[in-house]
Amino acid sequence: MKKFLSSLFNSKAKENDSVITFEILDKIYSYLYYENSNVSFKQKGFFDKIYVNRYNFPDSFDNPKKKSEVKSCGYSSVYQVLNELFSKIDIDPLSQDLIDENYPVDFIHIQFFSNTKGMNAVTKNILQNFIIFFCCDNGSVDSNSFRILYSNNRYFTFFIRNLLDTKYIKNNIPEIDIEKIAFKDFETVLIGICQHLGIELPKTIACPNLLFEEVTQAHFEEFSNLITRNEIADESIKKQSKNMFSKYKKAAEEYDFLENNFEFLEHVNCWNSDWKFSADDVTYFISEIINQEFIFDYPEETYSHDLFPYIQKALAKLDLALMSFDTQGDNYLFFVVNKKEIDRVVELSQIIGVSIDEL
């Protein structure tokens, strides 16, 4: 139920062809309200899944764990948390009468990862959180506007605390670089959500297909061929790809590409290395991978990941590039691809659910 009082919100973002509009968000909300309150799907260009959930005050927090969280944050009821959020986003607080009636207030939580390669030294993917509350502006008695709360690098393990720690993005105008990246990606994610849910978008908005096709054995075959530069016998690739696809179908959500196929990958022109390696290691193993002598120039006393730019420069002269599987640990599983095929390798990795790093 989205009808509730709001203070007047005089400044509005400029109207343009943005998908961050009340009309589009309201359609997404309607699906979450009437069809399914939890949606997740894969979208081109994004690491991991997009998660879209509808929550409700007070019902979503009417359990011992959430009540304990509320108290640990210094509040006696979940409605105090709600009014704290309302205060942050310029919405009038709920009256005691409405609270006594258990007045329902819904909000949407959208989670996705942004690629921040080159911006963040720790990780190239940052988790983005968008919290959307609907409200009534300019004297309307029906919901006609919305407010956005934002945070990053929060998994909402402690939901109440993480919710309270969000930042209000006034007028939907981001201020710092990470917020600008987040909002740019948020527009793309909203288009993907609409495509996934079958929501029609205005004709003024460019809508390339952002959804992946259904995963097949052919995707595993193509991926295996590309990461080995077609140097493995077709029979071996087909056999292994059939095995990969079979494991993928059986494992469903718990599928781990590396864990299920590590033995194969380690023996098909991949280099499993500790995080610390020398230029001599690079010269030896890449020579093995590409079946020719590999020599590259680098400054003295340069090691490990600091060697990447020099490795890539030398490989580029051969129309090749170094990549690595994201092992979720302190090691690398390197492989070499044809430079012209990097984009397709990345796309296929997203389709079959394996995380790789462009170095």
In order along its 359 residues, the chain shows pLDDT tens digits of 444 444 333 334 344 578 999 999 999 999 999 999 999 999 998 988 999 999 999 999 999 999 999 999 999 999 999 999 999 999 999 999 999 999 999 999 999 999 887 665 456 789 999 999 999 998 888 999 999 999 998 899 999 999 999 999 999 999 999 999 999 999 999 999 999 999 999 988 888 899 988 889 999 999 999 999 988 888 888 988 998 888 888 765 556 677 767 667 766 778 999 999 999 999 999 999 999 999 999 999 999 999 999 999 999 999 999 999 988 788 899 999 999 999 999 999 988 888 888 88
Name the residue with tokens 């994610």: 189
The two structure tokens encoding residue 222: 């193509």
Q: Residue 55: which of 18, 85, 29 has the closest Cα?
A: 29
Nearest CA-CA partner of 106 in 66, 53, 63, 158: 53
Q: What does the DSSP 8-state code read for residue 146?
A: E
Spatial contact of 102 and 37, defined as CB atoms under 8 Å apart? no
Complete edge-to-edge strand list for the sheet that includes strand 50-57: 38-41, 50-57, 105-115, 125-135, 145-152, 167-168
